[in-house]
Amino acid sequence: MDTNLVRQVLGQKVQFIHGDMACVYGALLAGCNFFAGYPITPATEVAEGMSELLPKLGGRYIQMEDEIASMGAIIGASWTGAKAMTSTSGPGFSLMQENIGYAVMSEAPCVIVNVQRSGPSTGQPTLPAQGDMMQARWGTHGDHEIIMLYPYSVQEALEMTITAFNLAEKYRTPVLLFIDAELGHMQEKVVIPEDDEFEVCYRQTVTVSKEEYQAFRPGNNAHPDRLVPEFAPFGSGYRTYVTGLTHNEAGLPRTNSPEIHDRMIRRLCEKILANRADMTFFKESYADDCDIALVAYGITARACEDAVAEARERGIKVGMLRLITIWPFPEDLIQQWARKVRLMVVPEMNLGQMIHPIREAVAGQCRVVPLNKIGGEVHTPGEILEGMVRAIEREREREPAAA
């Protein structure tokens, strides 16, 4: 895609836009040239933005009949070599789950934006929540790994959309980008980065002859230990067989072979897990001077920043860990924090989802306390500070009396 034309279409370098449109800008800067979707609050503006701007760049936009078809369309587009994206919210994300598994199994790089709203079912369509965290990890059936990024500002939504495409291309996998409904419709200043300020990645194209090529054989002559297969798009003359069934390296179904299934699924998982360092993003504050930690993500982390500032003014030694990468879960990072604090407070706009992998990673090294809120309202800094103070007081009550 012509980068000069992209900048011409996007307009001024500094703009005032909402989070949904930031995802559009990030996708176009990353080279997205295909979008399929279905309107749903509060993600409709992503589709609207793509429908307006993508055709101006020679890309393809199609409104599908539902989210099942939307996910199928971007998988098909990906296999033609396109950089493909869709967007949705809770109910649509539920409908996409089977095809997300198909994208994992067929190693089709693509990006799915989920602008989270309150559920379950139709729920509170215009109000924010963080109830899809475990669905993101385990929504599709079978053993698999998934990459999920969670920005907390409009600027970061733009930047992380670029990152989502890069990870999808490098590891030939679907990547989830979550933003909160509040952020999707929040307008903030955005600075569009220059071309030399960010990387744009492309999937590894085929380097072998048509006779040698096998669509799902990992590695190549230069990098035999690579876990990601080379890519030959449909229509390029290379023989490609794609299926959601257990398949061999040629792509042919082999559902009765335990060995082939074991080897294939382990490779699909390992290509993510072996590269955690390349896809783990986070922000820390007061990490070297704290005995209490706030662990947060998304819009909730913004309220936490003010709560931390107020707590520090009161003499409470609190630090903050903001998770940007949710999956694969950064266990080592959580363990590092658990070794230096006595208390972790985890505010979430749900009834407690990410607290489970956090507790598992902490493994009793410190106390982990949830601070949950539902009903379509974001935590206030005061609520977080109050909840943290209560947790500290309970922790003191638990301490044995001095002899």
403 confidence band (pLDDT: 50, 70, 90):
very low
For residue 48, count CB atoms less than 10 angstroms from its CB and return exposed for 0-12, middle for 13-18, buried for 19 or more. middle
What are the structural domains, with CATH classification, of the chain? 3-197 (3.40.50.970), 285-398 (3.40.50.920)
Tell me: the pLDDT tens digits for 221-259?
556 667 999 999 999 999 999 999 999 999 999 999 999
Tell me: the pLDDT tens digits for 136-152?
999 999 999 999 999 99
R_g of the chain, CA atoms, integer Å: 22
Run of H or E residues at 303: helix 298-313
Integer Cα distance of 52 and 73 in angstroms = 19
Alpha-carbon dihedral angle through residues 291, 296, 302, 303, given to the nearest 10 degrees: -70
Peptide linkage before 328 cis (omega within 30 of 0) = yes
Tell me: the pLDDT tens digits for 344-387?
999 999 999 999 999 999 999 999 999 999 999 999 999 999 99
pLDDT at 269 over 60: yes
Q: Which residues pair with 343 in a beta bridge?
A: 292, 367
Q: How many percent of the chain have pLDDT more than 90?
A: 95
Residues contacting 21, CB < 8 A, separation 6+: 45, 46, 49
Alpha carbon 39 to chain centroid, angstroms: 20
Tell me: the pLDDT tens digits for 7-20?
999 999 999 999 99
Integer Cα distance of 78 and 186 in angstroms = 31
Integer Cα distance of 303 and 60 in angstroms = 39
Tell me: the pLDDT tens digits for 173-231?
999 999 999 999 999 999 999 999 999 999 999 999 999 999 999 976 556 667 999 99
